[in-house]
């Protein structure tokens, strides 16, 4: 398995320290997956160097928290191009996670562990 980038490792460590989050499954090469105490599942990429992408349930609180941090929010849906029905259209590591695989998700790129906690912490 590829080692996380320094930023990915910092975010993973920060999320691990938060009592409101629990690991949902063991990390895979490119993705770590957690759930909130309320059962909402989210994931984030682990290996990119300058920014880490969070994959979060489409939730108004998430959008507001991200925008408060000055971050862009993009809605992501699986198989977005009807002319290419086999093209998933987002990181394939999401496919084995039933709660995220076929869901509309918010994609938020963060550049610090603090931003990641602020955005993910908006999930209840």
Token pair, residue 21, equals 């989050």
Among residues 103, 109, 89, 94, the alpha carbon closest in space to that of 43 is found at 94
- What 3 state SS string does 28-92 have? ECCEEEEEECCCCEEEEECCCCCCEEEEEECCHHHHHHHHHCCCCEEEECCCCCCCCCCCCCCCH
Tokens representing residue 119 in the block: 């955005």
Stretch (H or E) spanning 16: helix 6-17
Mean pLDDT by 10 residues, the chain (124 residues): 88 96 86 95 94 96 97 90 76 90 95 97 90
8 Å CB contact between 12 and 5 = no
pTM, rounded to two decimals? 0.91
Could you read off the pLDDT of 69-97 as tens digits, one per residue?
999 999 998 877 778 777 777 888 898 99
Residue 112: the pLDDT is 97
């Amino acid at each position: 398995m590829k080692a996380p980038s320094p930023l990915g490792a910092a975010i993973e460590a920060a999320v691990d320290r938060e009592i409101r989050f629990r690991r949902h499954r063991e990390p895979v090469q490119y993705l770590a997956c957690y759930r909130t105490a309320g059962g909402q599942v989210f994931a984030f990429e682990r290996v990119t160097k300058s920014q880490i992408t969070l994959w979060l349930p489409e939730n108004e609180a998430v959008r507001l928290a991200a925008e408060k941090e000055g971050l862009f929010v993009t809605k992501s849906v699986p198989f977005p191009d009807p002319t290419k029905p086999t093209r998933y259209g987002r990181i394939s590591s999401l496919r084995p996670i039933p709660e995220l695989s076929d869901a509309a998700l918010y994609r938020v790129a963060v550049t610090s562990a603090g931003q990641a906690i602020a955005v993910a912490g908006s999930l209840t």
